[in-house]
Structure 1
Amino acid sequence: MGLTNRKADQRSPRKVVVVVYEGVKLMDAAGPLQAFRDARFSDGCPAYRVALASESGGLIMSDTGVRLETVPLHRNVLRDIDTLLIAGSELPAALIGTESLRARLARCLDRPRRLGSVCTGAFVLAELGVLDGHEATTHWAFCTQLEREFPAVIVKPDAIFMISGRIWTSAGVSAGIDMALAMIEDDLGHLAALDVARGMVLFLKRPGGQSQFSVELRRQVHDGRGQFDDLHNWIRANLDANLAVPELAAAVRMSPRNFARVYLRETGERPARAVEKIRIEAAVRLLESTDDPVKVVASRTGFGDDERMRRAFVKTYGTSPQDFRNRFGRRQR
């Protein structure tokens, strides 16, 4: 993703407007707003002007019961706008916003340099035809519905956020912050976005990068009782060790045969595949956050050689470690 047409050394704050409505999910709106509000130019001046807007302005009730003060979505708010985001909701897609709000949005979609949605806000963009022919995502629970109702949209159900031209869409809730950080990095550079992430005590890019579910979260869903949590932590601390079944079984004081059987039953996958996934996730973190050569990453994460790691990446992500770094690494912007 290249830099935008405004360079980071310009000191004119960009206007970001987040559109909300009755029942909006609070974090869908507040998360990105906080990130943009915290972003600074190198001289400490605010890099963005942020606003919450609704159809008529005034107080809007969020899903938490917290009321949000908004300004009306009219020409003054849209003047000199840089980024327009539509927040999401847990409401059925058909109830998100109103017909008159969508009609008002339809008249102004060509104004922002960058147009996006958080969570189910993607349904509003899809209904307006904005997402036709574009790759897009939304909350994992609604991806199938988005694909079914809007077949012209290329839905990416596993992505944290997607960028297709000037159109940005994110997955649910906290993914809106991930997308906002990526926008800040695109506008202002890596260090400015990193400063925001540090202030919010967040990853600039999540471990595992571009997936709504990390390897570990998927594993925790299966291993609901957490029987092998300590083992997984031990594996992460010993990635370059021999992690065959006998060694894993010894670590949890079980016989190899019993361990393999119980592990498969509790986690839904075989120990060898679990080890490979943990190594891949560790390699992803290094590829995203360091400049270590691929061979060094392969060694540090226990793959032994870069060809073995390449095969694992192709199987998991459909791409090589170097291509993954080129797309998601810290030097991409």
Structure 2
Amino acid sequence: MLKKATIAHTLLEDDGTPTQEDIDRLDEKLRNFAQNTQNIFSEEEDSTPISNVGRENNELAIGMVWTNIFEARKFIRNYAIINKFEYYQVKNEDYRLRYKCGDEKSWNAWTICMERIVGSYDEGYIIMPKLTVQVLLANPGSISTCNIDLMTNEWTGTCISYKGSMEGCLIGCRPLLGLDGCFLKGKYGGVCLSIIGLDGNNGLFPIAVFFCRSECTETWKKFLEMMEPYLNLHRHRLNLISDRQKGLIEVVSSVFPFANHRFCFRNMYKNMKKYHRGSHLEKLVWGDAKAWKQTKKKEFLDQLKLDDPAAYDWLHREPYER
């Protein structure tokens, strides 16, 4: 049709220059040709069979046998491509091929199984506000908050403290609270800040947890300010013990100005042994920390001062109760 339109133009025009009418007429013919023809190769494509690539590689069963090693390798290669996993060959043998999946794929299998049992991380963060509401409905009087950044609509923290835990702390726990944090090693990471009490049998008694992005002065202050009205109801003066990390000293002194702030000696000794090592010094400083009587404490300190004055001075740079 295009050839006929071109010939018609050359026969009508003697000067060889097309007019605007000829151009419009040719454009209309070409436009009609394009509309009536969707695929000029439709007959060729219909006559060519299209095979489903990898259809024969959908199943892999124990005891499968191939005619030769090349067919076996081809099957494994196509199977890995279809199912999207990586592998490496362990060893070539006369009668079998041995392949091993990468470590990251084993982790993926574990993740898939955990998602089927407890759900995925994505779904958990999506329904986090609903979960906090359900905690309040099922446990009236509890603390259950979900903090969201209004500017970015992103989750920033969740605080959970059951009413039974708070009442148990006030009634049956000693006035000693441990403040600590640990990293969350899930898909999105984060930190879990916790407040742990000590019951009458010297057992650990969980009181509250606060899930947040990082352990810092801001998150500790937000957590302790939420718990302060309930913890200060204890009939005795509170004693808080911590590892003095991430601004805890300043936050505790501002939120609990009348509480005693104790320091974890395990962390203190961990810093001390960088400069003063030895099993003998370790025995003396731990004896000093665990001494219940002033006379016993003085014995350990005097011996430490006699054996290693530098270690004695380092230890006395830290605040302690006389």
Same fold (TM over 0.5): no
User: Shorter-chain TM-score category?
Assistant: under 0.3
Structure that is richer in helix per residue: 2
Task: Considering fraction of residues, name the structure with more strand.
Answer: 2
Higher RCO, 1 vs 2 (CA within 8 Å, ≥6 residues apart):
1
Give the TM-score, by structure 2 length: 0.26
| TM-score normalised according to structure 1 size | 0.26
